């Protein structure tokens, strides 16, 4: 079975074809970052309009590059939520119409399920059950995964997600949007011993996260230290704050991962979502799982951030069991992942 996947939940247009025999046979992502950069964040209406512009030519190119014709596609999967309503509507309407025209089923996919299953596109895949740490711009979640569709939420962010905290702190430091990769690069030049930021919610039991205080801590540190720094010390100050911030986020995530793995007795930890591209985090989680006698799994960097491949794969998993939508389509801008486990 070959499934076309379409991702348009935010600021990336992603298209891909997953083949149940040959695996991922083609994928392309168009990032709208340059479009939104001057506004310091995603402008929803611009995002929707750009998805409209990109989708049809990207799919045509994908089919040409993979040597496939429409008759060789057996289903179309699209991101139905969570995400920006207008952006989701573009992908959903396009996918539903295409599937109708091609006479194949269409299925709406939960964006975070896509991220969660993305490591399955690699050669070394985790066996079930496993623990997944999902760290994206909008979500930070620890999930126990019993099987495809069997998700138990172990903990999640009560305020800012890890990626959001990276982006907001990067903004404070005058770095562009999205700030995660830029902040991480700056942190490489930072002194790890100059500042120590808190590790939020690690002093009490539980697996929930709270990262908004870290951003405030970064702001206070920045204001206090800027006031007493000379002009040529500012660059190093920013790098030191970036380092302290990244270390605090990575340490906090690792502490909670350890707890989740110990609590569930799992030997595999999956990490996915944009922040899982962070090298410091990956190295830390690798060490943690080696200590615990297990292994960490994550997608290649390009499949950590938003892409169509993860949607095509999740779509195949749903279509193969006979799930698909009717002729109408709906989107769910807010869609708790817990609802998936309950079949909603
Ligand atoms: O999964 P994703 O592409 O989109 C959402 O579903 O939100 O995640 C985007 C987030 C952004 O907040 C971005 O700053 C963050 O992932 N990110 C990173 C890195 N690469 C992307 N954060 C820290 N370090 C990175 N290397
Ligand atoms: Zn995402």
What angle separates helix 212-227 from helix 234-264, to the nearest 10 degrees?
160
Q: What are the tokens at 242?
A: 């970036």
Q: For position 161, what pLDDT does the model report?
A: 96
The answer on pLDDT for 94 being more than 70 is: yes
> 234-264 and 279-291 helices cross at what angle (nearest 10)?
30
Distance of CA 218 from the midpoint of ligand 2 (Å): 25
pLDDT at 294 over 70: yes
Give the three-state DSSP class for 343: coil
What is the fold, at CATH topology level, of the domain defined by 2-117+303-341? Nucleotidyltransferase; domain 5 (3.30.420)
Res 344: pLDDT: 67
CA of 66 to the centre of ligand 2 (A): 25
- C-alpha 306/C-alpha 12 separation (Å) is 6
pLDDT value of position 339: 87
In this structure, the number of other CB atoms found within 10 A of the CB of residue 96 comes to 20
Report d(CA 277, CA 299) in Å as an integer: 9
Smallest CA separation from ligand 1 atom 22, residue = 180
Tens of pLDDT along 256-269?
999 999 999 999 99
Over pLDDT 90: what percentage of the chain? Answer: 96
Task: Decide which of 3.40.50.2300, 3.30.420.40, 3.40.50.920, 1.10.10.1590 is the CATH code for 128-298.
Answer: 3.30.420.40
User: Ligand 1, closest atom to CA 161?
Assistant: 12
What is the spatial distance between Cα 2 and Cα 20, in angstroms, rounded to a whole number?
Answer: 6
Cα 274 from chain centre: 4
Tally Cβ neighbours within 10 Å of residue 49.
16
Helix (H, G, I), strand (E, B) or coil at 266: coil
Residue that has been written with the tokens 């495809």 in this structure: 148
Residue to mutate, 275, 284, 307, ligand 1, most ligand atoms under 8 Å from C-beta: 275
What residue ranges do the domains of the chain occupy? Answer: 2-117+303-341, 128-298
pTM flag (> 0.75) = yes
**304 C-alpha vs ligand 1 centroid, how far in Å?**
8
Task: Determine what percent of the chain is predicted with pLDDT higher than 70.
Answer: 99
For the stretch 130-189, pLDDT in tens is 999 999 999 999 999 999 999 999 999 999 999 999 999 999 999 988 899 999 999 999
Q: Ligand 1, closest atom to CA 111?
A: 6
- Write down the residue that tokens 């172990």 correspond to: 154
Residues near ligand 2 ion, CB 5 Å cutoff: 136, 306
Give 112 Cα–ligand 2 centroid separation in angstroms.
Answer: 7
Ligand 1 nearest atom to the CA of residue 83, by list position: 6
Nearest to 170, CA basis, from 303, 284, 37, 43: 37
Q: Does 163 sit in the ligand 1 pocket, CB within 6 Å? A: yes
**13 CB near ligand 1 (under 6 Å):** no
Q: Does residue 341 surpass a pLDDT of 90?
A: no
Coil/strand/helix, residue 243: helix
The radius of gyration computed from the CA coordinates of the chain, to the nearest angstrom, equals 20
Whether the CB of 278 sits within 6 Å of ligand 1: yes
Please indicate whether the domains covering 2-117+303-341 and 128-298 agree at the CATH topology level: yes
Average pLDDT of the chain, as a whole number:
96
């Amino acid at each position: 079975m070959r499934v076309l996947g379409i991702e348009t939940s935010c600021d990336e247009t992603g298209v891909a074809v997953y083949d149940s025999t040959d695996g991922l046979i083609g994928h392309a992502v168009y990032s709208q970052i340059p479009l939104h950069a001057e506004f310091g964040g995603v402008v929803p209406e611009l995002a929707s309009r750009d998805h409209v512009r990109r989708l049809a030519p990207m799919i045509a190119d994908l089919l040409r590059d993979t040597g496939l014709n429409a008759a060789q596609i057996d289903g179309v999967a699209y991101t139905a939520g969570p995400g920006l309503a207008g952006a989701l509507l573009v992908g959903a309407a396009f996918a539903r119409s295409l599937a109708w025209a091609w006479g194949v089923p269409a299925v709406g996919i939960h964006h975070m399920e896509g991220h969660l299953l993305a490591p399955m596109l690699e050669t070394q895949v985790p066996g079930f059950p496993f623990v997944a740490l999902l760290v994206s711009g909008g979500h930070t979640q620890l999930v126990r995964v019993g099987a495809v569709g069997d998700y138990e939420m172990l903990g999640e962010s009560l305020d800012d997600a890890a990626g959001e905290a990276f982006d907001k702190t990067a903004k404070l430091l005058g770095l562009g949007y999205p700030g995660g990769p830029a902040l991480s690069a700056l942190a490489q030049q930072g002194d790890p011993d100059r500042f120590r930021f808190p590790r939020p919610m690690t002093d009490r039991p539980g697996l929930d996260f709270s990262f908004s205080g870290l951003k405030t801590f970064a702001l206070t540190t920045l204001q206090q230290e800027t006031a007493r720094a000379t002009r040529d010390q500012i660059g190093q100050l920013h790098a030191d704050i970036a380092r302290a911030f990244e270390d605090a986020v990575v340490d906090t995530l690792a502490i909670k991962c350890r707890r989740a793995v110990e609590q569930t007795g799992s030997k595999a930890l999956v990490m996915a979502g944009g922040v899982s591209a962070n090298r410091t985090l990956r190295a830390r989680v690798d060490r943690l799982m080696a200590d615990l006698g297990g292994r960490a799994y994550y997608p290649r960097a390009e499949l950590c951030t938003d892409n169509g491949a993860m949607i095509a794969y999740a779509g195949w998993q749903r279509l193969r069991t006979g799930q698909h939508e009717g002729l109408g389509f709906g989107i769910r801008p807010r869609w708790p992942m817990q609802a998936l486990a309950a079949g909603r």
